[in-house]
Amino acid sequence: MYNGKPRAASYRKSMFIIIDAHGVWFLGWLLNECSYSAQTGSRMAELVSLAEGVAELVHDGDAVALEGFTHLIPVAAGQEIIRQGRRDLTLIRMTPDIVYDQLIGAGCAARLVFSWGGNPGVGSLHRFRDAVENAWPRPIEIEEHSHAGMANRYVAGASGLPFAVLRGYVGTDIAKHTKTVATVTCPFTGEALTAVAALNPDVAVIHAQRADRRGNVQLWGITGVQKEAVLAAARSLVTVEEVVDELEPRPGAVVLPGWVVTAVAHVPRGAHPSYAQGYYDRDNDYYQSWDPISRDRETFGRWLDEVTAA
């Protein structure tokens, strides 16, 4: 079980590795480094149950990022947060979909920081709309960004920088209404650019395909901003399809070494109804069925009773 102690500062935000077709050597180097860290006593990720990980790492009032861009969405972790009754959370996510609709409808969220929101391929997030339009089950504050803005905010947070600069938000009023967006002038060219404040969640939660028993995590396919979210966060929980003795080199994979991950939980099908490349496909029927469930408070309440009783 995770012992609750802070991660060693010298290992936080250390690195991430992207393996391409020519980069297998880097994975071998990384795994040697991970093995060396384990032998020399450097702090590695704890292997925990999902319930233990949420209980220890996700607290009332936290800023929580559940990331996964259409793929590897940590739905099981989101539902465990609901079961444990967390409240007053700031939820952070690029493209919040049904996992955040569920959390908002359950009353877990006080604030949402996001870029676009919807039930992909189906329609609206009705629990989110009810919270914004009718303050049910509670009022919710929103802070909206572009995808590029959110991605750059994560990169700044992961890099230990106070902000990132991009060419974006031009022609919009977002900077006038959002305190984390500002117009700046390039000191070298005089060009007007947009600065976005770094994102540093209290805890990042992601899903991945594999981890080894030392807590090194491997994911592939559409990886979105998972690695940046973990590196930017103070704490992190990674749910995985399987735990193996040793990670195998895989072209195109991302490896998060165990010293930048707080805890790993073995949760097969933990991304369902989204998909996990190499393990299962997207469950389109689930997304379609969510629309009538979420439209009506009473129907949603019955769904919520089933989830909390599980």
Within-domain flag for 124: no
Percentage of residues in the chain with pLDDT exceeding 90? 82
Ramachandran angles phi, psi of 135, nearest 5° = 55, 35
Confidence check: pLDDT of 28 > 70: no
pLDDT at 42: 58
What is the number of other CB atoms lying within 10 angstroms of the CB of residue 302? 10
Within-domain flag for 175: no
Give residue-wise pLDDT tens across range 60-84.
999 999 999 999 999 999 999 999 9
Within-domain flag for 52: yes
Lowest mean pLDDT across 17-26, 121-130, 227-236, 286-295: 17-26
Within-domain flag for 282: yes
Q: Indicate the SS3 state at residue 121.
A: coil
Range of the structural domain that residue 76 is part of: 11-116+200-295
pLDDT at 310: 83
Q: Is the peptide bond before 273 cis (omega within 30 degrees of 0)?
A: yes
CA nearest neighbour of 205 among 259, 263, 154, 253: 263
- C-alpha 22/C-alpha 62 separation (Å) is 40
Within-domain flag for 309: no
What is the number of other CB atoms lying within 10 angstroms of the CB of residue 217? 30
Q: How far is CA 145 from the centre of its chain?
A: 16
If 0-12 CB within 10 Å is exposed, 13-18 middle and 19+ buried, where does residue 176 land?
Answer: exposed
Within-domain flag for 126: no
pLDDT at 165: 98
The helix or strand, by DSSP H or E, that contains position 292, with its residue range, turns out to be helix 284-295
CB burial of 104-127 (b: ≥16 within 10 Å; e: otherwise) equals: bbbbbbbbbbbbebebeebeebbb
CATH number where 46 lies: 3.40.1080.10
pLDDT band at residue 240 using 50, 70 and 90 as cut-offs: very high
Counting the structural domains of the chain, the total is 1
Within-domain flag for 244: yes
pLDDT at 37: 46
Confidence check: pLDDT of 30 > 50: no
Lowest mean pLDDT across 24-28, 33-37, 101-105, 144-148: 24-28
- C-alpha 95/C-alpha 114 separation (Å) is 7
Within-domain flag for 6: no
Confidence check: pLDDT of 277 > 80: yes
**Tokens encoding 19:** 């393996």
Report the chain's mean pLDDT, rounded to a whole number: 89
